[in-house]
Chains A and B, each alone.
Chain A
Amino acid sequence: MQRVTGGVAVIPMLALLFIIAVLLAQAWPAILLNGGGFFTHTSFDLGNTYGAIVNTHGVRHPQGASYGVLGWALGTVESSAIALVLAVPVSVFAALAISERLPAYLGRVVGLFLGTLAGIPSVIIGLWGALTIGPLLAHRVYPLLAHLAPKVPVLSFFTGGTGNGQGLLTSGIVLGVMIIPIVASTTRDLVHSVPKLPKEGGEALGMTDWEVARRVTLRWVGPGIVGASVLGLARALGETMAVAMVSGVVLSGSPGSIFAPITTIAATIVTQLDSAFTDTSGFAVSSLAEAGLVLVLITLAVNVAGRLLVRRVASTALPVGRGV
């Protein structure tokens, strides 16, 4: 039994190594030819796919093919940052309310909501973002925001045309909704793990509930909450379908306004793979593999960092994947 189960337990690790190896092998020609420029400009240009395939440094590619991941990576990071700004305060306050204020049965009801939200397929959240909340925000809320924001450097990022609801801010909001379950349920479990005595000590000193929460509970699990947020960030960075439906998927450059359409690495891969197949030299597919490799390395680093932070505080609170 030990040998059989041990052999099976190795499968996820092998799968992980296999995924990275396949990406690396497939991306290798693109890494050679795209060079450092891949990270310093934004471009998705298949080149002349009807012309002759040319050979540069031993890599076959259509004349004029050019790929740059900068704008996609910026879109990924910016939309995920907005998601964090929205999701972390909601999650922390909700976690405190669940475990310190609500009776147990109401806490279970909120838990049911968190589980449901985590379980709703990404493509259905995308429908909501693209057809319901995106247009609503673009018509009712964004114009107000754009009107209020002063035309000074930095804040002028919040001005400009508000478009049709496909863009950076909508992506951030939708991603925020999607990562609330993992951040909130991890934070709730962390808050639950704080021992009673220090809290009662705080109360005995005459602290209000909020002072106990801020100075005892949150201080106790602080690094864990940072870790929970980082796990949410990893989730947001890799989210694909919903973002592909609400970001506008604009492949060139980074947005000049928070309302402008963007793309992320994941959304670019899922929407452009079909057109990449038309490049018979395989260079387009290879370049998307390089983009995928960049995404995997970013999410891996963020994910591992988040796990280490949560584990420092409590190993029981560690979620898997979406944190269902």
Chain B
Amino acid sequence: MTVTCSEHPASLQGRPAMRRKVADAAALAAGYVALAMIAVPTIWVVAGVLQRAVPGWSWGVLTHTGAAGAGGLENEILGSLVLTAGTLVLAGGVGVLAGIYLAEYATGPAGAVLRGASEVLAGIPSIVLGYVGYLALVVALHWSFSLAAGLVTLAVMTVPYVMKSTEVALRQVPSAYREGAEALGFSPLQALRRISLRTALPGIVTGILVALAISVGETAPLLYTAGFTSANPSAALVHRPIAFLTYAIWTFYNQPSKSAVQLSFDAALILLVIVLLLIVVGRVIVSLSERHAETR
């Protein structure tokens, strides 16, 4: 096919064809280099943890408590699971309800303000959240380093993620579904519960899983709210500190003793497994529900 150049944009006219081809090839190469620069660090980080954790791995770290870089990680693992479960309840509950409001009821500027505030809250540096949590919950409310202080701080941090994904998922429900429900005589609440929420469920669950992955991997908000202890978590909400996995990574990685560094990487490995599991389950849910939606 021959193309006459008379219709080209003025700035392209007269540029030698060779130079344009070279620029095109260079851009393509830059694209592949860029993709490599996303994949390589991701694989490298994960492989680095595996490489340092696996050779010295002992299953005993799962079943022994410890502190100060010796013993096991049972207290940290259980603590992280308790904190994550708490986040699920607190951030999940608040985030889903708030997301429902934004998608179904909020109209005009009020919705925009609430949505903006939530998005901005997600941008507050995590150490600042931890610091405010320390000042307000640990000191002012006399909760001490405790499960409750850590939980509330984590929930404040992760609510925006749940809220956003709930809102987006509900907005993607086709309006024909709602109209159909209305035509069948459903009350608005019934339509929301039995049609909209059910259709949006995969998106909502995925958002919650992301929030959980983030909360289990956080360090800064917990250092000065949850504290640390060598004991396993108890039922006490306040006045009792609680251990968490990232504390072990952050505190043990540069200690002189070999066992401490090993524990640090053991904790990193366990944490990576949890986080990757949450992300993968989220992805699977999304792709399954997409396939389901296509065949419907």
Q: Do A213 and B27 touch across chains, with their CB atoms under 8 A apart? A: yes
Q: Do A240 and B127 touch across chains, with their CB atoms under 8 A apart? A: yes
Interface size on B, residues (CB 8 A): 95
Q: Do B35 and A238 touch across chains, with their CB atoms under 8 A apart? A: no
When A5-B101, A128-B44, A180-B37 are in contact, do A320 and B161 touch as well, CB less than 8 Å?
A: yes
Contact residues in B for A266 (Cβ distance below 8 Å): 125, 127-128, 220
Bitwise interface map of A from 103 to 136 toward B, beta carbon under 8 Å scored 1, else 0: 0000000101111110111111111101111000
Q: Do B38 and A210 touch across chains, with their CB atoms under 8 A apart? A: no
The answer to the question of A141 belonging to the interface, with a C-beta cut-off of 8 Å to chain B, is no
The answer to the question of A65 belonging to the interface, with a C-beta cut-off of 8 Å to chain B, is no
B residues 82-100 near A (Cβ < 8 Å) are: 94, 97-98, 100
Q: Do A15 and B24 touch across chains, with their CB atoms under 8 A apart? A: no
Q: Do B279 and A207 touch across chains, with their CB atoms under 8 A apart? A: no
Contact residues in B for A231 (Cβ distance below 8 Å): 123
Q: Do A4 and B97 touch across chains, with their CB atoms under 8 A apart? A: yes
Contact residues in B for A240 (Cβ distance below 8 Å): 125-127, 219-220
CB distance from B248 to the nearest CB of A (A): 10
CB distance from A115 to the nearest CB of B (A): 6
Q: Which of B37, B119, B250 is within 8 Å of A123, CB to CB? A: B250
CB distance from B153 to the nearest CB of A (A): 10
Q: Which of A6, A207, A269, A320 is within 8 Å of B122, CB to CB? A: A320
Q: Do B124 and A124 touch across chains, with their CB atoms under 8 A apart? A: no
Q: Which of A1, A22, A321 is within 8 Å of B132, CB to CB? A: A22
Q: Do B97 and A289 touch across chains, with their CB atoms under 8 A apart? A: no
Contact residues in B for A121 (Cβ distance below 8 Å): 216-219, 246, 271, 275
Alpha-carbon separation in the docked complex, A6 to B100 (Å): 9
Contact residues in B for A15 (Cβ distance below 8 Å): 121, 156, 159
Q: Do B131 and A273 touch across chains, with their CB atoms under 8 A apart? A: yes
Contact residues in A for B30 (Cβ distance below 8 Å): 89, 93
Alpha-carbon separation in the docked complex, A303 to B125 (Å): 11
Q: Do A122 and B219 touch across chains, with their CB atoms under 8 A apart? A: yes
The answer to the question of A10 belonging to the interface, with a C-beta cut-off of 8 Å to chain B, is yes
Interface size on A, residues (CB 8 A): 91
Closest residue to A6 on the B side, CB-wise? B101
Q: Which of A16, A98, A184 is within 8 Å of B121, CB to CB? A: A16
Q: Do B131 and A288 touch across chains, with their CB atoms under 8 A apart? A: yes
Q: Do A209 and B24 touch across chains, with their CB atoms under 8 A apart? A: yes
Contact residues in B for A245 (Cβ distance below 8 Å): 250, 253
Q: Do B224 and A11 touch across chains, with their CB atoms under 8 A apart? A: no
The answer to the question of B117 belonging to the interface, with a C-beta cut-off of 8 Å to chain A, is yes
Closest residue to A308 on the B side, CB-wise? B116
The answer to the question of A77 belonging to the interface, with a C-beta cut-off of 8 Å to chain B, is no
Alpha-carbon separation in the docked complex, A120 to B219 (Å): 12
The answer to the question of A324 belonging to the interface, with a C-beta cut-off of 8 Å to chain B, is yes
CB distance from A180 to the nearest CB of B (A): 6
When A208-B21, A296-B128 are in contact, do A307 and B101 touch as well, CB less than 8 Å?
A: no
Closest residue to B93 on the A side, CB-wise? A8
Q: Do A9 and B106 touch across chains, with their CB atoms under 8 A apart? A: yes
A interface secondary structure, majority: helix
**Which one of B3-11, B59-67, B233-241 contacts A?**
B3-11
The interface centre, meaning the residue of A89, A90, A116, A273 with most chain B CB atoms within 10 A of its CB, is: A116
When A19-B132, A119-B210, A132-B48 are in contact, do A234 and B123 touch as well, CB less than 8 Å?
A: yes
Alpha-carbon separation in the docked complex, A1 to B101 (Å): 9
Q: Which of B52, B128, B271 is within 8 Å of A238, CB to CB? A: B128
Q: Do A206 and B8 touch across chains, with their CB atoms under 8 A apart? A: yes
Bitwise interface map of B from 39 to 56 toward A, beta carbon under 8 Å scored 1, else 0: 101101110110010000
Q: Do B38 and A110 touch across chains, with their CB atoms under 8 A apart? A: yes
Alpha-carbon separation in the docked complex, A292 to B271 (Å): 28
Q: Do A210 and B268 touch across chains, with their CB atoms under 8 A apart? A: no
Q: Do B125 and A321 touch across chains, with their CB atoms under 8 A apart? A: no
Q: Which of A101, A295, A307 is within 8 Å of B28, CB to CB? A: A101
When A1-B192, A11-B159 are in contact, do A270 and B101 touch as well, CB less than 8 Å?
A: no
The answer to the question of A241 belonging to the interface, with a C-beta cut-off of 8 Å to chain B, is yes
Bitwise interface map of A from 234 to 272 toward B, beta carbon under 8 Å scored 1, else 0: 110111110001000000000000000000001001100
The answer to the question of A215 belonging to the interface, with a C-beta cut-off of 8 Å to chain B, is yes
The answer to the question of A2 belonging to the interface, with a C-beta cut-off of 8 Å to chain B, is yes
The answer to the question of B114 belonging to the interface, with a C-beta cut-off of 8 Å to chain A, is yes
B residues 234-283 near A (Cβ < 8 Å) are: 246, 249-250, 253-254, 264-265, 268, 271-272, 275-276, 278-279, 283
Q: Do B210 and A324 touch across chains, with their CB atoms under 8 A apart? A: yes
Contact residues in B for A96 (Cβ distance below 8 Å): 27, 31
B residues 57-81 near A (Cβ < 8 Å) are: none
Contact residues in B for A234 (Cβ distance below 8 Å): 123
The interface centre, meaning the residue of A97, A120, A177, A269 with most chain B CB atoms within 10 A of its CB, is: A120
Q: Can you list 6 residue pairs at the A/B interface with Cβ under 8 Å?
A: A12-B117, A16-B121, A120-B272, A238-B124, A300-B124, A322-B214
Residues of B within 8 A of A (CB): 3, 5, 7-9, 12, 20-21, 23-24, 26-28, 30-35, 37-39, 41-42, 44-46, 48-49, 52, 94, 97-98, 100-102, 104-106, 113-114, 116-132, 134-136, 156, 159-161, 163-164, 188-189, 192, 210, 213-214, 216-220, 223-224, 246, 249-250, 253-254, 264-265, 268, 271-272, 275-276, 278-279, 283
